Amino acid sequence: MSGVGLSTVAGCHLCEDARAVVADVCARTGDAWVEVDVDAPDGAADGRDLVAEFGELVPVVQVDGVTQGYWRIDARHLERALSRPRSTP
């Protein structure tokens, strides 16, 4: 996945916190982001089994497919990851 991805599950209070952090950081940096429910029957757009991949780690934040954090998301860390040079598809 390119860009910012947030993997969550329904009813997860840490996911709600992570959503707020990701939305705030991406609003300030101008980066688009997507949220994916790991329990959704269709899974990831690329066919990966997100439950098997992330299990109990949700919420998970990735930038260009690289995990930047899980459980409690640090805004400064995400900002640094987004400020680094990134390849474009």
User: In the chain, pLDDT over 90 holds for what percent of residues?
Assistant: 67
pTM for the predicted model, two decimal places: 0.87
Distance between CA atoms of residues 77 and 12, nearest Å: 22
Number of other CB atoms surrounding residue 4 within 10 Å: 22
Give one DSSP letter per residue of 47-73, joined into a string: ---HHHHHGGG-SEEEETTEEEEESS-
1: pLDDT strictly greater than 90: no
Residue 78 banded pLDDT, cuts 50, 70, 90: very high
| Average pLDDT score over the chain | 89
22-38, pLDDT tens digit by residue? 999 999 999 999 999 99
